[in-house]
Structure 1
Amino acid sequence: MNVLVTGGAGFIGANLCQELVSRPDAGRVIALDDLSTGFAANLEGTGAELVEGSILDSSLVESLVARVDAVVHLAARPSVPRSLADPVASHHVNATGTVTVLEACRRAGVHVVAASSSSVYGATAVLPKHEQLATRPLSPYAASKLATEAYLLAYGASFGLPALAFRFFNVYGPLQPAGHAYAAVVPAFIDALLRGAPVRVFGDGAQTRDFTYVGTVVRVLADAVLRRVTCAGPVNLAFGTRVSVLDLARQLAGITGRQSAIRHEPPRTGDVRDSQAADGLLRELFPDLAQVPLVEGLERTVEWFRTLPEYHPERPEHAAHAAFGSAEPN
């Protein structure tokens, strides 16, 4: 089976390409990426073919879809803060780009698995969050991801397109970049701890998240493609864990053996207060699924960070810092 992965040079996409290439039932793996947030180096040694281009290029997308049996649509303009800075750009990539991909898939009749987001639940306070809850997006990013899954499921209902929409929660792991304004919380915390810099926490840090290791996520995605799994509604891809941001910081401090000050900053617009997945439907569709525990996943992630040259221990800025959890002026 040949597979196209849009956003294939990104964090999740590159991990998925590596997973697919390792599967005996998978054939050619093509990664389409405009390299706006992904990196060609992520695919080195995977055996995947990188095609540099945009999902908004309908001719390119159609030509690539014609070469495969399935598509995993991960390409997106990520980040709630980035969508607040430029809502139209998020809409173009996440909504219009998805329609471009779906049109090519409809004409070719290929199976499509696509990434939505837990952010679509938004202001819905119920925990754990199950797929039958009303959606109340709090940001343009969340609205654009709701459009992604809605278009996918509508194409399934209208045109018989075999489709599966996953709602990703807080995915973390190797290849997830740090060191930029829109970095996710796990790489941002690891980066700060390894550099001896203050750990930035938005709000009081009591907000909770359902963290999911990328290795687990890509195994589910690969299984979904190779078994041609479909579903008429969205499916949460997380396991019902619930960890506060401050607890995450403490666990990472223990794993890294580094101590840094916590610097509290104002809460960010569009951020959800609490997130926790109901995983009943996921386990029904993937009964043999085994998750990687949070501590183990964080250890693997820190180990990967330590392979990067900028975090080599001989660098002087890795000297001991203030005691973790101590106060620091905002």
Structure 2
Amino acid sequence: MLKEQGLADFVAGRRVIVSGGAGFLGSWLVDALYMLGAEHITIVDNLATGRIDNISHLLGTGRVKLINLPVEKLEPLKGYDFVIHMAARPSPEDYVEHPVETLLASSRGTEVMLETARLSDAVFLLTSTSEVYGDAEVVPTPETYWGKVNPIGPRSCYDEGKRYAEALTVAYARQYGVDVRIARIFNTYGPRLDPGASYARVVPRFIMQALRNEPVTIFGDGKQTRSFCYVSDMTIALLKLLLCGKCKGEVVNLGNDEEVTILELANLIKEIVGSRSEIVFLPPREDDPKRRRPDISKARRLLNWEPTTPLRAGLQKTVEWFRRYAGGGAHVG
């Protein structure tokens, strides 16, 4: 699929640094860069939410190096063609538990990676989030929407951290001329979501609960919506944005524009698994957005990209991986 996208000519022989490259989405992107022929890939990851198993198959190749360090503690480096800042704590339970670390990854961490891009004269890609829109009043949400975010609420460490990261990225472009681009990523799922994490996101939590025939727990009434993009579709979108010649300074929504309620998601996962789990409703999370659906017309226009994996098919692949992983299976990409 990557070869069909015609991306190898832009990656082969290049040097890349990726913060958060041992994480779920980061490791998929690192795999893609490796397969496309990147000469060297430096991963910066303290494995707080990433997993060594996600990248262990690459570490002995001589082309991939891991710096086991929080990105905010890294000194800026030189000598890269592409600088990708993905380090984050994207799970709500996790970032609420670790607000300071979450903010530092988005503040000082973004500065370190931007300095690396400036010193290297490299292309810089920030993976931001749909959370910058907060509880959006405009749905589908375009990039021009400024957001409705509680700056001191429990989610603010992630929301405002990413908003600051975007502001700093744009400031480096304006003041220093750094070639930047920002991806606002909506919910992404697929293999390598950690089933054993203490703070699981909604898809892995539902899958593991369903596989164990435990209650599937929904915060709130389940009527809140999200839009779920399969990880291989998202990986291609990120590569296209990174390598796009006309995307300097652009902010682009990346995600699936098909909206589904959390209750519908829970029932679909139960059906795919064949689970006997009951659905249990818990008190809603504070400041939890009611709807989330991207307007991806800009991605279609600039990148000639849109997701192609239907939700049921993507969840089936994800459930299959979770069955193998939870059963002690070998690494599966």
Could you state the TM-score of these two structures normalised by the residue count of structure 2?
A: 0.87
Give ranges in structure 2 of 5+ residues lacking alignment: 1-13
Matches of 2:208 and 2:319, distance apart in 1? 9
**1:22 alignment counterpart:** 35
| Contact 2:299 2:305 (C-alpha < 8 Å) held by counterparts | no
- Partners of 2:253 and 2:328 in 1: how far apart? 34
Contact 2:256 2:307 in 1 (8 A): no
1:12 to 25, 33, 38: 25
* Aligned pairs (5 A) from 1:166-185: 166-185=183-202
Partners of 1:288 and 1:104 in 2: how far apart? 29
Question: 1:317 corresponds to which residue?
Answer: none
- 1:130-141 → structure 2 map (5 Å cutoff): 130-138=142-150, 139-140=155-156, 141=158
1:122-170 CA-to-partner distances (Å, cap 9, x unmatched) read 1322110011112222421111111112211221122111111111111
Pair 207,231 (structure 1): closer, same or farther in 2 beyond 3 Å: farther
Matched pairs, number = 307
Contact 1:80 1:142 in 2 (8 A): no
Q: 1:125 to 1:289 in 2, by over 3 A?
A: closer
Aligned counterparts of 2:281 and 2:85: Cα–Cα separation in 1:
36
- 1:50 — aligned with what? 66
Name 1:111's counterpart in structure 2: 123
Q: Which amino acid aligns with 1:308?
A: Y
Q: Could you say which residue in structure 2 is the equivalent of 1:159?
A: 176
**Shift in Å at residue 82 of structure 1?**
3.3
Q: Which residue of 2 aligns with 1:80?
A: 92
- When residues 6 and 52 of structure 1 are mapped into structure 2, their CA distance, relative to the original with a 3 A threshold, is same
The residue type paired with residue 91 of structure 1 is L
Aligned-partner residue type, residue 37 of structure 1? T
TM superposition shift of 1:55:
1.1
Q: 1:126 to 1:111 in 2, by over 3 A?
A: same
Q: For 1:200, what is the secondary structure of its paired residue?
A: strand
Identity across aligned pairs (percent)? 34
Q: 2:217 pairs with 196, 200, 211, which one?
A: 200
Post-superposition CA distance 1:302-321 (Å, at most 9, x none): 11101114489xxxxxxxxx
Q: 1:306 is paired with a residue of what secondary structure?
A: helix
Aligned to 1:326: none
SS in 2 for 1:72: strand
> Runs of 4 or more off by more than 6 Å in structure 1?
none
> In structure 2, do the counterparts of structure 1 residues 135 and 290 end up closer, same or farther at CA, with 3 Å as the change threshold?
closer
In structure 2, C-alpha distance between the alignment counterparts of 1:252 and 1:135, rounded to whole Å: 31
CA distance in 2, matches of 1:93, 1:170: 20
The aligned residue for residue 120 of structure 1 is 132
Q: TM-score, normalised by structure 1?
A: 0.87
What secondary structure is seen at the aligned counterpart in 2 of 1:156?
helix
Task: Using the TM superposition, give the Cα deviation of residue 2 of structure 1 relative to its aligned residue in structure 2, in angstroms.
Answer: 1.5
Asked if residue 280 in structure 1 is aligned to residue 293 in structure 2, the reply is no
